[in-house]
Chains A and B, each alone.
Chain A
Amino acid sequence: AAGVIQSPRHLIKEKRETATLKCYPIPRHDTVYWYQQGPGQDPQFLISFYEKMQSDKGSIPDRFSAQQFSDYHSELNMSSLELGDSALYFCASSFGLQKGSSEKLFFGSGTQLSVL
């Protein structure tokens, strides 16, 4: 079965550069979530989208922006990269926003971003 696809798997950037991470949800899933997991840290919720509209916002820096497109894929745009942005970025998708469906979150394998 198709899973959540994230690209690229690995990305190396230098300070002050920009990066774009992509997430392709499971077919028919309309909700996308972005999480950031720094080295030795727990995953932190960044932002989510439902039906192409932002639904929740977490600890996403102002330097980052994200959107969900008409085909439901999402892109996380990161500008003025800092060393502290080095982390594993997970995308998850689900169908709908109904409470109690958290177990229906399917995670991608993540994009490992290294900022040098």
Chain B
Amino acid sequence: DQQVKQNSPSLSVQEGRISILNCDYTNSMFDYFLWYKKYPAEGPTFLISISSIKDKNEDGRFTVFLNKSAKHLSLHIVPSQPGDSAVYFCAASEANAGNMLTFGGGTRLMVKP
């Protein structure tokens, strides 16, 4: 049973517009959420994270929103740039589980010039 789901396998956005990537989770014990970005032939790289005590975290063009009641988080990228084209993984970790991450299936973002 998938505990972290990214229901959109792909997303296409025009350069300069906003990209919104969504992630849903089922495990109420998750208390820390992360987004990773992955380019082909490379490992995932950390992008941004949010603790369950917050509902928003912003870092430059990237903002993550967390809605605990809906068990939903989203990553906003604005403005989107062609270099943002990659696969984005949502991940979550559970209290007392160290840094063991549960990943979603990923969303491939394509930003068109």
Indicate if B85 sits at the interface (CB-CB under 8 A). Answer: no
Q: How many chain B residues touch the partner (CB < 8 A)?
A: 28
List of A residues within 8 angstroms of B96 by Cβ:
99
Pick from B4, B46, B97: contact of A103, CB under 8 Å: B46
User: 8 Å CB contacts to A: which residues of B1-20?
Assistant: 2, 4
Q: How many chain A residues touch the partner (CB < 8 A)?
A: 31
Task: Give CA–CA (A58, B100) in the complex, Å.
Answer: 9
Could you give, for residues 26-56 of chain B, a 1 whenever the CB lies within 8 Å of some chain A CB and a 0 otherwise?
0000001010100001111110010100000
Task: Give CA–CA (A8, B49) in the complex, Å.
Answer: 31
Indicate if A105 sits at the interface (CB-CB under 8 A). Answer: yes
Contact (Cβ within 8 A) B43 A110:
yes
Contact (Cβ within 8 A) A105 B101:
yes
Contact (Cβ within 8 A) A43 B89:
yes
User: 8 Å CB contacts to B: which residues of A88-116?
Assistant: 90, 92, 94, 97, 99-110
Nearest CB on A from B70, distance (A): 21
Contact (Cβ within 8 A) B43 A97:
no
Task: Give CA–CA (A33, B49) in the complex, Å.
Answer: 19
Indicate if A74 sits at the interface (CB-CB under 8 A). Answer: no
Contact (Cβ within 8 A) B98 A55:
yes
* Known A90-B44, A102-B32; contact A45-B4, beta-carbon cutoff 8 A: no
Contact (Cβ within 8 A) B46 A48:
no
Contact (Cβ within 8 A) A102 B2:
no
Indicate if A66 sits at the interface (CB-CB under 8 A). Answer: no
A residues at B contact (CB < 8 Å):
4, 31, 33, 35, 40-45, 48, 50, 55-56, 58, 90, 92, 94, 97, 99-110
B residues at A contact (CB < 8 Å):
2, 4, 32, 34, 36, 41-46, 49, 51, 89, 91, 93, 95-106
